[in-house]
Homo-oligomer: A and B are copies of this chain.
Amino acid sequence: MARPREFNEEQVIENLMKVFWDKGYEATTMSDLVNASGLLKGSLYGAFGDKHALYMAALRHYDRTRIQAGIDMLNGEGTARQKIARLFDNVIESTKRGLFAGGCLLCNASLEMAATDRDIKNEVKTTIRRLKVAIMEALQPQVENEDQAASLAAFIVSAYFGTRVLAKGGAPAAMIGDTRDHCLQLIP
């Protein structure tokens, strides 16, 4: 019925997300986003809205792709302990490679934006719950009751997020390994 879009929306959002992931919200300029998207400013605004809307789209995309990949892994093969170990190993590995400095966009968004932006806080809150529930379900088979699984899952999410802070802060990789090992000890 009208002129069709010339870009792949999913691909553009993936590229936009990487900028926010790498630099954070405030340090990212519209100019950065224009470059990363390949679109021109007017098209970006027309298609997605303003900078805040772009960030929201990036957050949702992160949830749909990266977080979901973690959840799929938690739903996959292996013992609870193996799955949780893999979660931390991702952090250790990406720290050692040291190529992409973004860390975890969810953590970044939580600390940079959630305190002052209601929309972002809601998105973050929802995604944290999703992750926690997936961990709970991975723990269920090996744990006495649901409350046990819930509190253990909360604790694992904390420790996991903590390793993201350590990794970016340049703490030795051993601290992350130690954190992982202690977490695994607590899983029956």
Contacts and interface: CB of A to CB of B under 8 A. Distances in A.
A182 interface: yes
A155 B128 contact: no
Interface string A123-161: 011001100100000000000000000111011011111
Contacts of A114: 168-170
A68 interface: no
A101 interface: yes
A111 B121 contact: no
A130 to B, nearest CB: 12
Sorting the interface of chain A by its residue count into under 10, 10 to 19, 20 to 34 or 35 or more gives: 35 or more
User: In this complex, which of A24, A121, A132 has the most chain B Cβ atoms within 10 angstroms of its Cβ?
Assistant: A24
Contacts of A151: 178, 181-182
Given A27-B26, A181-B151, A128 B158 contact: no
A115 B101 CA distance: 6
A128 to B, nearest CB: 5
Interface in A17-67: 23-27
Contact of A111 (B107, B125, B171, B179): B107
A1 interface: no
A149 to B, nearest CB: 11
B170 A154 contact: no
Given A24-B26, A152-B182, 9 more contacts: A26-B26, A26-B27, A111-B164, A124-B169, A151-B182, A154-B174, A155-B182, A158-B163, A162-B163
Contacts of A176: 154, 158
